[in-house]
Each structure stands twice: as structure tokens, then as C-alpha cells.
Amino acid sequence: MNEQLQKVRGQPARRKEIIDAARALAAEEGWPAVTLRAIAARIGCSAPAIYQYFQDKDALLSALAATGREEMNRALEAAATGDHGPAKRLRAMLRALWDFSIDNRELFAVMVGIDGLAAHRDAAGGGGAPPPPRPDPRSGRIAVQT
């Protein structure tokens, strides 16, 4: 197999590896730690090599948001199945959405534009959203600050 064909076949796997590394960094250290250099160091390549797979950091974050939407949709579809009435299905779907947002905070944050895209744009000089409210670890309730 020639080298060019091997490179093309390896692109989806490498792209996923980059997305997974960005997601892991965000989960472990927060969105400010997600830099192309940090991602590259984690997967063992140079930062410029990431540009072969993503036009820029926003494109990478958009791919992360798309991954999140796919995962969230699967969770919602699973919750909506069954012979339950509409009210029970709706409750199950709301619970699935809540669970997804808590279990995948780093992904949910980039999906809704907080701590990810908004924070990234704020650091780049654009406008940003305030930090997201955090649930109380004991009660799971979110205290809204006014």
C-alpha cells in the first residue's frame, strides 16, 4: 500500500484521536488548558500537524460540539423508547438530558458555547459568556446567581 493511501485511511482515526485528546484535557484541566500545543503533546505530534485535520481551534471545538450532539441524541432516543405514555417519556428524556449534561460537562459546555467556544473567543479578544452555574455536589441543584 502506498504512503499516500495509508495517510488518507489514517485520517479519521487521527482526527478522532485529536478530538478525544481535546475532550480529555478539558475534562481534566478545563477549557483554558485545551491548546493545540497541549493536544499535540498528548498525542505525540507537532501542533502544526493538527492543522492537517482541523482548519483552526474553532473547527476542532465545532467537531467536539458535533460529537456531543451525536452522543446526546443517542441518549435522548434511548430515553424516548418504550411503551410509556408521553409524560413518562418526556420525564425520561429530560432526565437523560440532565444526566448527559452532568456526566459530560466538558462536552456539554462546548455544545452550548460556555467554557469552550465562548471562553476561547473571549481569550482571543471577542465577547464571552459568564462562567456556567455549577450544581451543588451534595444536592445536584444549581444555584442561580443574580
Q: What is the pLDDT of residue 83?
A: 77
- Rounded Cα distance between 91 and 28, Å, is 31
Asked if the model's pLDDT at residue 64 lies above 80, the reply is: yes
* C-alpha torsion 36→40→41→47, nearest 10: -70
44 has pLDDT over 50: yes
Q: Shortest CA distance to 101 belongs to which of 60, 57, 144, 142?
A: 142
In the predicted structure, residue 125 carries a pLDDT above the cut 70: no
* Residue in this structure with the C-alpha cell 450544581, named with its chain if needed: 135
112/110 Cα distance (integer angstroms) = 5
What is residue 11's predicted lDDT score, i.e. its pLDDT? 81
More confident site: 61 or 117: 61
Confidence of residue 134 (pLDDT cuts 50, 70, 90): low
| Band of pLDDT at residue 139, cut at 50, 70 and 90 | low
Q: What's the confidence (pLDDT) of residue 144?
A: 53
Q: Is the pTM of this model over 0.95?
A: no
Q: What's the mean pLDDT in 85-101?
A: 92
Structural domains of the chain sorted by starting position, each given as residue range(s) with its CATH number in brackets: 3-123 (1.10.357.10)
Q: List the one residue out of 110, 102, 99 whose CA is nearest residue 66.
A: 110
pLDDT recorded at residue 30: 87
Top-confidence residue, 26 or 119: 26
Please say if the pLDDT value at position 5 is more than 70: no
